[in-house]
Amino acid sequence: MKLFDTVLPEMYSKYLFEEKNTDLSSEFTDMLSDTLFTGTANILASCKSMEHPVAFTFTKLDGSFVAASIVQYFKNEDKDNPGNWSLVWTFDEKDVPESALKIDFNDPQASSYFAGSAGSKYGIRFESTASMINCLLGFLVCLKKYLDENAKEGAEVSVEQDGVFQARVVVENKEKVFALEVDGEIKNLIKDDKAIEK
- 191 falls in which pLDDT band (50, 70, 90)? confident
Residues 179 and 131: their CA atoms lie apart, in Å, by: 27
- 131-178 pLDDT tens trace: 999 999 999 999 999 999 999 998 999 999 999 999 999 999 899 999
Q: Can you spell out the DSSP letters for 111-163?
A: HHHHHHHHHHHH----S-HHHHHHHHHHHHHHHHHHHHHH-BBTB-EEEEETT
Helix axis angle, 29-47 relative to 8-20, nearest 10°?
80
- 198 falls in which pLDDT band (50, 70, 90)? very low
List, as own/partner pairs, every contact residues 194-197 make where C-beta atoms lie below 8 angstroms and the sequence separation is at least 24, other chains included.
Answer: 195/50, 196/82, 196/83, 196/84, 196/85, 197/82
**Residue 63 structural domain:** 3-197
- 95-144 pLDDT tens trace: 999 999 999 999 989 999 999 999 999 999 999 999 999 999 999 999 99
Total count of domains within the chain: 1
Give the model's pLDDT for residue 14. 98
Give the model's pLDDT for residue 181. 97
- 196 falls in which pLDDT band (50, 70, 90)? very low
Percentage of the chain beyond pLDDT 70 is: 96
- 189 falls in which pLDDT band (50, 70, 90)? very high
- 31 falls in which pLDDT band (50, 70, 90)? very high
Give the model's pLDDT for residue 192. 63
